[in-house]
Structure 1
């Protein structure tokens, strides 16, 4: 996906020149895949450009969405993206670290594409470190924030590289969460999986059925989009 100054979707445009984290395919998959049905209040942790909030607002036509972003430039750009979208009256942005964020209500659903590289070498560019690495938000802090902000019967949707996803899943399960949905994302069939998308609920209310699926972005030729990928993103991507 070209990293232009903006990315146009069918119902909104995401401007991204001030954000370390650009629009990327895996985040779009999360926005289209996350379980947000029947949610009245949704929280987006680490809003970045506002992409997830905008996608979720398109999919759930009545939910009120709060979005938290720590980086000032990303916060202001997300604000511009939201204000110029059809969903501006349902999305509210907060310039805050989620560890310090407080709300008068709990959320039915949380979506997050968190800083996920727990141990990789840091970039000399601090904004990229904050966006890509768990420098400002580690697994324990993230789980504590989710525990504090989510309704008892609520669920959260999260995106990680595969290895970090396995680490996070272990910590989440040790903290009393159960994995109820998982999507493993591949570039194409003969490539190694590169992302894991997961939905968790508290163990005491989670159903016994766990749904695990694989998805490929491309068919074997590496250029033709996989039909399942096209079906998932057809309401968002102009080319579909």
Structure 2
């Protein structure tokens, strides 16, 4: 059974009310995104609020967090209120589609760990189904929103399993949104390609490709993973 909270160096994530818990790949996204110079950041599908709090720690930006699920939004609100950055984070409890209809703000950074299993079996747990599948947030809707509200020089960070990441990449290219950085995340040397994170921009240029291995063969964390998460994980 997952712990009811996850303690980071500068904040705590309570997760007893949410279907999706703190996971390593989402932590990698939060640490890898270059947000230090951002002024307006959007976190799509915030869940527990993890990504919002991670980017708040490394920036002075105003952060907007959107979450469709009522219980998850309640959890995120609790985590934001308990943080040092509560005055910089605004929570919108609604779908991205509904948020897009009323939003007037443009964002220089957008981060998203979205629902992603397009073809897999649906979970009997309704909240977990919403969190893990594209039925509430089709890739086309996500792409349409990003094209409307990302600033001309902005960056959109998206975490997906490799096959889904490739599907989205092709859709994005058709819409003139270009991958400029790519991080392939592996469980261990010669291990499973777990996730891909793409950084997208309207500026077309050769994509910078990187890889990150989480654990050594003896199951200790790699030096590269430790360096990336050092500002967040208590064990480093």
Decide: shared fold, TM above 0.5: yes
1:179 CA displacement: 0.4
2:135 aligns with 135
1:96 aligns with 94
Distance 2:19 2:70 in 1: 11
1:70-102 Cα offsets, whole Å, 9 max, x none, are 000000110000000011011110011011103
Structure 1 range deviating more: 143-152 or 81-90: 143-152
Counterpart secondary structure, 2:189: coil
1:216 aligns with 213
1:174 CA displacement: 1.1
Counterpart secondary structure, 1:89: helix
Distance 2:231 2:166 in 1: 30
2:148 aligns with 148
Distance 2:15 2:79 in 1: 9
Distance 2:126 2:103 in 1: 28
1:232 aligns with 228
Distance 1:118 1:209 in 2: 28
Give TM-score, length-normalised by structure 1: 0.95
- Any gaps of 5 or more consecutive residues in structure 1? none
1:51-71 Cα offsets, whole Å, 9 max, x none, are 0000000011x1000000000
Structure 1 range deviating more: 44-53 or 150-159: 150-159
Counterpart secondary structure, 2:98: coil
Q: What does 1:153-192 correspond to in 2, within 5 Å?
A: 153-192=153-192
Give yes or no for contact 1:190–1:220 (8 Å, CA) kept in 2: no
1:123 aligns with 123
1:63 aligns with 61
2:14 equivalent to 1:3: no
Distance 2:12 2:69 in 1: 20
Distance 2:190 2:217 in 1: 7
Give yes or no for contact 1:159–1:196 (8 Å, CA) kept in 2: yes
Give TM-score, length-normalised by structure 2: 0.97
- Count of residues in correspondence between the two structures: 234
Counterpart secondary structure, 2:181: strand
Distance 1:167 1:210 in 2: 17
1:169 CA displacement: 0.7
